[in-house]
Amino acid sequence: MERFGILVDYEWCSGCLSCVVACQMENDLPAGRSGVTINEIGPWKIEGQRWQHDFQPAFTSECNLCAARRAKGKLPSCVQHCQAAVLDFGKVEDLVPKLSGKGRQSLIVPC
């Protein structure tokens, strides 16, 4: 059985929340509920001039990978609306090779 997922490369995630709003609108969800949420990590100073400050997309049990949109040949709404190209949708077998080991990446395969 083919399995699909979303590869998250959040190095350039700005925390803009466009993905969250896109999901809420696509799935008619009220404020406070979404298939994707953004965790803010930091800010704090690590050493020297380095800082920890990341925005990390995380997926929830509300995510159905936009089954209705995909049935029409469209990308998931969050992927479509992320201007920073943080989110990449595809077959798991095609996404795994894109994991570069550089960190700030995760592969999401909703149940």
Residue ranges in contact with ligand SF4 by CB under 6 A? 13-19, 22-23, 26-27, 35-36, 38, 55, 57, 59, 63-66, 76-78, 82, 84, 86-87
Q: How far is the CB of 69 from ligand SF4 (least distance, A)?
A: 7
Minimum CB distance to ligand SF4 smaller for 35 or for 95: 35
What one-character-per-residue DSSP string does 52-67 give? Answer: EEEEEEEE-TT--TTH
Q: How far is the CB of 5 from ligand SF4 (least distance, A)?
A: 10
Using Cβ positions, the residue closest to ligand SF4 within the complex turns out to be 35
Q: How far is the CB of 42 from ligand SF4 (least distance, A)?
A: 15
How many Cα atoms are found within 13 Å in the side-chain-facing hemisphere of 20? 18
How many Cα atoms are found within 13 Å in the side-chain-facing hemisphere of 11? 8
**CB 77, CB 69: distance < 8 Å:** yes
Minimum CB distance to ligand SF4 smaller for 30 or for 48: 30
Minimum CB distance to ligand SF4 smaller for 48 or for 72: 72
Tell me which residue of 38, 41, 79, 31 sits closest to 58, measured CA to CA. Answer: 38
